[in-house]
Chains A and B, each alone.
Chain A
Amino acid sequence: MSESDDSMSEIDAQEQNHSNGVGGGIPDYIMNLDNIPAKLPTHLELHKTRVICNIDAPQHTDPINYSGAYAALGVDNSVRLDNFCQNFKVEVKRFTDEDIEFDMIGIDPAIANAFRRILIAEVPTMAIERVYIANNTSLIQDEVLAHRLGLIPINADPKLFEYPDNAGGENNEKNTIVFKLHVHCVKGQPRITVKSDALKWLPNGSELIADDTKPNAESKPKTFTSFRDNHDSKKKFAKNPPAPKNLDIILAKLGPGQEIELEAHAVKGIGKTHAKWSPVATAWYRMLPEVVLMEDVVDEMAEELVSKCPAKVFDIEDIGEGRRRARVVNARACTLCRECIREKESEDGADKKEKESEDGADKAIVIKKKEWEDLISLRRVKDHFIFTIESTGAISPDVLFTEAVKILEDKCERVITELS
């Protein structure tokens, strides 16, 4: 008892120091008055930090950003950087080669959403952009085939390449990866399936002759790329040569006698230009659900509650004397389907009319309806984001997130330099 008292008074002392020190524009004598609240009243705090999901609609959905929102109460709503740094937390929940799930705690939706948008649209990757078809006698049309090729995730680090516009329209080893695909189904043999593993990397660039004119005897014939002798880049890729990330993507099927011969050029780009450059399958976040039982839910009610929750949020615990009580065990799994607070539908129209005549029974139903909504409070925590990134596989998901954050930093830097 005494311990808790001590800690309480300590906190009080700290708060006073805090308000004295950081009071800023507010004169100290005002901050020293007894009736200046250091914290928001609980109901306002609840509205500020939680979305409350009622049966009809969610309430208090908007974040309260304005620094002076609670100025009348003497509460400073501004977020100082050191405050943010103290409160911000990241917890990784799941991490594989292809996806990551982590909790971001203490961040505003504006910024979490910026990260998500950047992940989808602005983190660069490599994708096939130009396809030179030398021969295609298969059933699949040239343009459809080219589109399919474009969507293949390419396993190559985009940091090693430049954007094609930087080279002034020249396709060289710094901005282009060239793949060759040449498959042929021999007559008399069964049909074959062309998969993405048929794409072979050409480290020396294009092999197709670009001009119809006869090449000079001395100079090499002009191709679609102008690769210089690139020992460096070959060394760079010795361990990990550029290739499709998944080798079992079906591209086409060939009947006997059919053939595809083409060259595919992959370049660097961003998802804003075309979704094929998007490095993620999806990136999304959701706010942490919070389920609070406002009163004890016992016995039959408890069992009903457990059985009607599709996400298995509740469990039953024994409280002795043969009684059971519902307990929230897995609020994180809650999808906020609101099934647990839904009013009963068992009475259809005709039934209802009958019931209305019997006054007593109707009242009982009304009470029941009210009860569930009052017993359970479904909320979402406004500054707790469960962030999931599903990578296409070319770049590891943790690298993707760091890249996204860097891109937002670069944007800030650009604006700062433009303003000064």
Chain B
Amino acid sequence: MEHGSYTDLSKSTFSLMDEDHTFANSVRFTLNQDPRVTFCGYSIPHPSENRVNVRVQTTGDPACEVLKDGCQDLMLMCQHVRNTFEKAVNDFKTSKTEDHMDI
């Protein structure tokens, strides 16, 4: 859900259900890296409610698009992390078996 104004699309608060610090903090990080973002922060209005509010203010681009890009960036980062990790584990496994063969 998006709370913003119709006239100024560059500032919005997004209310995300069923999310917590895990997602909100990561996306806050990626948004802060985006040069188009002037302000980004999140809050959990009540601890027993499964909801986070993410505030995004930009230099002019629609906040919704910038948030989407932030999520996209985070997703690509995750994919890269996963591939690198899998490769590192495979490398480790092969080096281990080689060690055994030496013995």
Q: Which residues of A contact B (CB under 8 A)?
A: 24-25, 65-68, 76-79, 81, 84-85, 88-92, 95, 100, 102, 104, 107-108, 110-111, 113-114, 117-118, 121-122, 398, 401-402, 405-406, 408-409, 411-413, 415-416, 418-420
Q: Nearest Cβ distance between residue A104 and chain B, in whole angstroms? A: 8
Q: Is the CB of B88 within 8 A of A411?
A: no
Q: Is the CB of B75 within 8 A of A412?
A: yes
Q: Is the CB of B92 within 8 A of A95?
A: yes
- With A91-B88, A92-B92, A95-B92 as given contacts, are A78 and B29 in contact (CB-CB < 8 Å)? no
Q: Is the CB of A412 within 8 A of B71?
A: yes
Q: Which residues of A contact B91 (CB under 8 A)?
A: 92
- Which chain B residues (11-40) contact chain A, with CB distance < 8 Å? 14, 16, 19-23, 25-29, 32-35, 37
Instruction: Specify which of B2, B33, B74, B85 is in contact with A408 (CB 8 Å cutoff).
Output: B74
Is B84 engaged at the interface, CB distance under 8 Å to the other chain? yes
Q: Nearest Cβ distance between residue A65 and chain B, in whole angstroms? A: 4
- With A67-B32, A67-B37, A419-B64 as given contacts, are A411 and B77 in contact (CB-CB < 8 Å)? no
Q: Is the CB of B33 within 8 A of A90?
A: no
Q: Is the CB of B82 within 8 A of A402?
A: yes
Q: Nearest Cβ distance between residue A38 and chain B, in whole angstroms? A: 17
Q: Is the CB of A81 within 8 A of B76?
A: yes
Instruction: Specify which of B33, B75, B85 is in contact with A413 (CB 8 Å cutoff).
Output: B75
Q: Which residues of B contact A402 (CB under 8 A)?
A: 82, 85-86
Complexed CA–CA distance, A76 and B20 (Å): 30
Q: Which residues of A contact B67 (CB under 8 A)?
A: 415, 419
The residue in B21, B64, B67, B92 that gathers the most chain A C-beta atoms within 10 A of its C-beta is B92
Q: Is the CB of B28 within 8 A of A110?
A: yes
Complexed CA–CA distance, A419 and B62 (Å): 12
Please classify the interface of chain B as helix (H, G, I), strand (E, B), loop, or mixed, using the class held by over half of its residues. helix
Q: Nearest Cβ distance between residue B103 and chain A, in whole angstroms? A: 18
Instruction: Specify which of B34, B68, B89, B92 is in contact with A67 (CB 8 Å cutoff).
Output: B34
A-B contact pairs, 29 of them (CB 8 A): A65-B29, A77-B33, A84-B77, A88-B80, A89-B84, A90-B81, A90-B85, A92-B88, A102-B88, A104-B81, A107-B81, A110-B28, A111-B81, A114-B25, A114-B26, A117-B20, A117-B21, A398-B85, A398-B86, A402-B82, A406-B82, A408-B74, A408-B78, A409-B78, A411-B23, A412-B27, A415-B19, A415-B67, A419-B2
Q: Is the CB of A113 within 8 A of B25?
A: yes
Residue of B nearest to A118 (CB): B22
Instruction: Specify which of A90, A92, A117 is in contact with B22 (CB 8 Å cutoff).
Output: A117
The A-B contact count (CB < 8 A) is 124
Instruction: Specify which of A77, A100, A114 is in contact with B23 (CB 8 Å cutoff).
Output: A114
Q: Which residues of B contact A (CB under 8 A)?
A: 2, 14, 16, 19-23, 25-29, 32-35, 37, 64, 67-68, 71-82, 84-89, 91-93, 96
Complexed CA–CA distance, A413 and B75 (Å): 8
Q: Nearest Cβ distance between residue B56 and chain A, in whole angstroms? A: 11
Q: Which residues of B contact A412 (CB under 8 A)?
A: 23, 27, 71-72, 74-75, 78
Q: Is the CB of B26 within 8 A of A408?
A: yes
Complexed CA–CA distance, A409 and B78 (Å): 6
Instruction: Specify which of A84, A90, A110, A418 is in contact with B26 (CB 8 Å cutoff).
Output: A110
Q: Which residues of B contact A107 (CB under 8 A)?
A: 81
Q: Which residues of A contact B22 (CB under 8 A)?
A: 113-114, 117-118, 121-122, 408, 411
Q: Is the CB of B71 within 8 A of A415?
A: yes
Residue of A nearest to B72 (CB): A416
Q: Is the CB of A88 within 8 A of B81?
A: yes
Q: Is the CB of B35 within 8 A of A90?
A: no
Q: Which residues of A contact B78 (CB under 8 A)?
A: 405-406, 408-409, 412
Residue of B nearest to A76 (CB): B35
Q: Is the CB of A79 within 8 A of B33?
A: yes
Residue of B nearest to A102 (CB): B88
| Smallest CB-CB A-B distances: 9 pairs | A110-B29, A92-B92, A90-B88, A412-B75, A65-B32, A412-B71, A114-B26, A405-B82, A117-B22
Q: Nearest Cβ distance between residue A144 and chain B, in whole angstroms? A: 28
Q: Nearest Cβ distance between residue A286 and chain B, in whole angstroms? A: 18
Residue of B nearest to A402 (CB): B82
Instruction: Specify which of A79, A92, A117 is in contact with B89 (CB 8 Å cutoff).
Output: A92
Q: Is the CB of A420 within 8 A of B68?
A: yes
Q: Which residues of B contact A113 (CB under 8 A)?
A: 21-22, 25
